[in-house]
Amino acid sequence: MNPFTAVLGSLKNPIDFLEYFDSQEAIDAGLDTATVKKWETVHNTYFGPTKWTRKQKQAREAAQRSGFTSDQLYLIEFRIKHITVEREKWALRFRLLSIRGNFTTLKCKADDIVPEKKAPAPRKTMAFGRSRGRMRPMRVMAPERDMAALEFALNRHVSADRPAGPQMVDALLEILGLRNGESNEPAVPPHSTVSPAIPRPMILIPYPSYIDILNGDGDETVLGLTDGTTMTGAEFLAEHYGEELEVATFHPQHGAVNLYHTKRFANQKQRDLARATSTTCPVPDCRQTSDNCEIHHVEAWSRGGPTNMANLAPLCRYHNRTNDDDPDRNHRGRIKNIRGSPVWCSPRGFPVANKVHPFGAMTLLFGR
Ligand SMILES: [Zn+2]
């Protein structure tokens, strides 16, 4: 066993060494305060004073069986922090301790198991920060439909060979008719605006709900739009009734209906269906909506991958570049088609869903 493997092995049983946790000793030894705080939280859970001593003892044993690192044990405490009923907290802790896997696996399972913290409803805000190097930041909270339209408008002319951020700033300043820092030049009149009509709503709905909406009692039906936002059936009727409806059909196992083509580039219909199947880039925690995505070949075109629905997935520009197209490369993970939906699989082959926007067609229609 080499020294690195030995250190990793010792991290696998934090219960053994955290029993003797001492924060001052850890700080004096040069550990950062964040780590010390995490260890303290774990120590208090498994060794601190409690009236649930029997549960605490069982939890120590479960933690030892789990082989979890202190980072994983802290993750559990972090995720159940908001649970106020102590009995419920212990139950969740035991469920999480029974999971086997690495940090990412535990994190994903925790998303499923732990009830979400009820956050206060966000309000509209806008704040400007302090200037640094003649630049100044801005933070905005605004209705998601408007922000999606803005994001789409700013992304529209972004060129792939340069970083997107600066180009989006330029586009925003141009829309606002500002001078982009050049105060001596006369102001350029705005020649483009943000059109709320740009993100075209393609409707991802199962057949019976579609009928409800047309009958006018579809208030409760939530629709996922391809710009990454949602609207109710009633809102949909108010905005789009009378316009041409686009309804994609989905098979429970195979996903979007296949349209076989031998061309390298997907046609518009295929692009639309791919975006309907997955309303965001499928890489976990990526929040790029499918309208802002490129269409990716799951099996690379250069390796004989066909341009048909089962082989297409929307992927943001960044993740399209970092995807392990080569089946022998296992660096950054790759997109696979699992039962009709594009799903990101880790370099070791574990599928992980992106839960940023749960309104992909297959989730909406078939509950996954
Ligand atoms: Zn992405």
Least confident range of 42-51, 63-72, 179-188, 191-200: 191-200
CA of 286 to the centre of ligand 1 (A): 5
Q: Which residues, other chains included, contact 322 with Cβ-Cβ below 8 Å and sequence gap of 6+?
A: 332
DSSP code, position 308: S
Note the pLDDT tens digit of each residue in 236-258: 666 655 444 444 445 555 555 43
Pick from 336, 338, 197, 355: which is nearest to 279 by CA? 355
Q: Which residues of 185-224 are buried (b: 16+ CB within 10 A; e: fewer)?
A: eeeeeeeeebeeeebebbbbbeeebbeebeeeebeebbbb
Note the pLDDT tens digit of each residue in 283-326: 988 888 888 888 888 888 777 777 677 788 889 888 998 898 88
CA of 288 to the centre of ligand 1 (A): 6
- Other beta carbons within 10 Å of 120: 5
CA of 141 to the centre of ligand 1 (A): 22
CA of 125 to the centre of ligand 1 (A): 27
CA of 317 to the centre of ligand 1 (A): 7
CA of 322 to the centre of ligand 1 (A): 9
CA of 281 to the centre of ligand 1 (A): 5
CA of 12 to the centre of ligand 1 (A): 32
The encoded tokens of residue 279 equal 């309303």
DSSP code, position 82: T
CA of 355 to the centre of ligand 1 (A): 12
Distance (Å, whole) CA 293 – CA 281: 7
CA of 258 to the centre of ligand 1 (A): 24
Share of the chain above pLDDT 90, in %: 35
Average pLDDT over residues 148-163: 86
CA of 283 to the centre of ligand 1 (A): 5
Q: Is the pLDDT of residue 5 over 60?
A: yes
CA of 315 to the centre of ligand 1 (A): 6
Using CA atoms, how far residue 28 sits from 16, 24, 356, in Å, is 21, 6, 41
DSSP code, position 321: H
CA 322 to chain centre: 16
Q: Identify the band that residue 83 occupies on the pLDDT scale cut at 50, 70 and 90.
A: very high
